[in-house]
Amino acid sequence: MSTSTRLQLPYCAPADQLPAPLPTFEEMLSARCITDDGVDAGVHNRIDRNWPLERGVIRVGEHFVAKLGTDVKTVEGENMLFVKNNTAIRVPAVYAIYERDNLNFRFRRGVKYQVIVMEYVPGETLSSKLDSLGKEEEDAIAVQLAYHFYELRGLAPPSYYGGLVDGQEARNYLFNSVTQLSRNNGQFMRNERLRLGYMEKWVLARAEFTRPSDEGDDAPVFTHGSLHAQNIVIQPDGTVCLIDWEDAGWCTAAHEYVIAMDLTLDWSRDPLWQEMLASFLDGFEGEMQILEDLKADRRRREVEYRAEY
C-alpha cells in the first residue's frame, strides 16, 4: 500500500490469508466485549442494541477480534497493513475494514459503524507483566522494542508531516482538534478570555510537535503515536506484538517520545516501563518541558475559572 493513496474500502484480505470465514456483522453484535487485556469485560460485556456503540473491542470465535463503533477510525487498519507490509514488526493481521451504514437503534436512526476485523493475538499486555518480569525477560522485550522502532525510523519518509496519506492529519490525543481540545480541557474553555489565552499557547505547542526540531533532523518518521505498556502484547513464546495503531503517522521523533512519556506519567508511573522507554527511544527533554508548561497553564486557568465562577 502506498503512502500517497488511501486504501479502497471495503477491504477484505485474500481468502487464502483468512484462518476461518470472516464473522458476520450480526455475529459481532452478539459476541462479548473484551478489555484491553483480552479478557471478558464482565458485567458490561454485552453490546446494548438500543443505543449506538462508540467503540467496542469484540472477541469473535477462536481467531478474530473486531473493533467497531461510531468512533472507530478505519485508518488504524490501514496503518497496521502499512507496517505489516513494510517491516518485520509483529502487528495483528488485518482481515477486513468496512463501514456499515444506516443502522437503526431504538433511540437513534441512521447510524454508521466503522469496523476493523483483525487477528486475535494470544498473550498478556506488558502492563500486566511488569511486576513479575525477570531481568532476562525484561531485556528480551526491550531488545525487540528497540529493533521495532529502529525499523519504523528506517522507513523512507514522505515530503509531509501528518497521517499515512498526504493531506490526512495524524491523530494525537494531546493535539488532536479544537473540538477535542475543548472536550479535554475543562470548564475554563467556556470563558472566552481564558480560552483564547490557552489556545494561543496550545497552537504554539502543537507546532513544536508537527514541524522539524531545531536540531536539524528535518525528516518525518513513522510513529506509533500511542506507545504505552497496555498496547504491547507479549505472546506465549516471548514475541512482542504492537497493537492500537490508530494514532500512527508521519511525525517528529520528539512526538513519539513526548506522547509515550506523558501516557506513562499520567497512567502507570511505573519506573521499570520508564526505564525501558529510555532504552529504545531518544529523549527530548526540551519538548517535554513545553508540554509540562502547557499543562501547568491549563491548571492555572482552571483555578482562575473556579475563582471567578
pLDDT on residue 79: 95
Q: Which CATH number fits domain 11-120: 3.40.5, 3.90.920, 3.30.200, 1.10.10?
A: 3.30.200
Cα Rg of the chain, angstroms: 20
Under 8 Å between Cβ of 164 and 154: no
Q: Looking at residue 38, what is its pLDDT?
A: 43
How many Å apart are CA 74 and CA 55, to the nearest integer?
12
In this prediction, the residues of the chain whose per-residue pLDDT falls under 50 are: 2, 36-44
Amino acid found at 12 = C
Place of cell 443502522: 103
Per-residue model confidence (pLDDT) at position 37: 41
How many residues does this entry show for the chain?
Answer: 309
Q: What is the pLDDT of residues 170-215, one digit of tens each?
A: 666 666 655 555 555 566 566 677 777 777 777 777 766 665 555 5
Q: What pLDDT is attached to residue 284?
A: 85
Instruction: Output the CATH code of domain 126-308.
Output: 3.90.1200
The cell numbers describing 297, all together, are 497553564
pLDDT for res 49: 65
pLDDT for the residue 90 = 98
Q: List, by residue range, all CATH 3.30.200 domains of the chain.
A: 11-120
Q: Which three cell numbers stand for residue 173?
A: 490525543
The string of pLDDT tens digits covering residues 71-106 is: 899 999 999 999 999 999 999 999 999 998 866 666
* Every domain range in the chain assigned CATH 3.90.1200: 126-308
pLDDT at 252: 83
